[in-house]
Structure 1
């Protein structure tokens, strides 16, 4: 819309007999409504949960690339790795080491590629299994969220573990979420589980912004033949059935996996690729879907002096 807006403003100024010397366009992302009885976090305007009904659908890869796509659009973004048992965000963002704690109580987020990040993976050894019962895992999640010194963020992307267990329930009850995204692959067995995740968010009054269909099509790098390896149209059928938007269909591509393993996701490594364009398009649709939600009205108090 930027070019169209500038052209319209120039035309309006010229119609008044003047010339536009310079035009500066800014953007302001506001907070949107969260679950009843909860309020948005002080420095985070919108928490967006990224969930899936089952593992192996590329949820974390999708979450990271969407976060970087939002940064490319000018937003201030953070990522919270809520997959306590299998944290993968540090590797995908090329981060290692432990975060600083200036006061011994709070933690500075790690930063990479313009994204603030926190993960249990920063606090334990890479090969240490998290042999925790549900209450310990959920306590760790709330501590990671509340004890991190997040900057002024437009979006905090929360990468959830697969399924509909304790972590998801804690997120719904204690963390103010502006919207959720469900990641699925096209095949029926994946959308069957994705439906459960969608219904879970509905039951706990977290608005579902839409679906993202991952691994939708594979295009041969040698001959250009497109093949729907995991089936075709599953995401669109599910979106139509539950009356939610299909926010994007992402390709099945070797480079996406390779760049995630290398710590430089494809949105950064190959910004002109078709895959990066698909992530950016999905990120814009997510932002638009969230913008259509009710906004948080700031409370104003006034006192009369006699």
Structure 2
């Protein structure tokens, strides 16, 4: 629990620092966007002396920690990637949570909250959005309908692996004899691009011994997998564990789709930067968390006596 609180404190500090850097550089150079290198060069020096607990929060070995931190802030809408590796500072705005509480993002004022990146306020700023306007939350039915409308015959596709869905859940397989006409699957296809192998994911249906597929774009894989599990009446679960000082640990069976993840980051601290299965929050956010989780049909199971 101490690790979560330390991580959030440092995220809040560096978030404010980066936003002030962007604001200062924009004024200095008479522009509205700043190249990432100007920001990462400063962060590299600061992070060189940073606590190991904070550094381990970022786990993508392909990118430097400063770049991961900028991506983290961009995903939250604290800063805005505007192309060509440049970032801008969007206007301060309020996100209205399901229970009516307000959190401010993109503020130059430091957030001093224990958990979550959103700064709570009793009043809305000039720009405010409901939580389902801040992130688009398509239903599982909408996701499946979207892919159904895009299915195209791809008789020569050669998947390396298939994700099969049934009443017990989902599992990976290389045995294509299990495939049934009319059912939906996720295909994994490996393509050689130069010296690197790129894995592509496809929403797929088998019909008359041929594949009809639609590519799953980045960021939609988790939601698509959840939608196909739910179609077989299998939904992921979560449970709550009460900690000291009014804190609650949220434990997940699987990581969240990116939309729900962004909402959780406003009001809870993840254990790790990407695909976290554990968050720390407060009792005051339980209504919001339960409302957020209903969008991906998560089922609450018994934790440590927290059911209200």
Q: Fold match, TM over 0.5?
A: no
Between structures 1 and 2, the one with greater strand share: 2
- Structure having greater relative contact order (Cα 8 Å, sep ≥ 6): 1
State TM-score, norm by structure 1: 0.22
State TM-score, norm by structure 2: 0.22
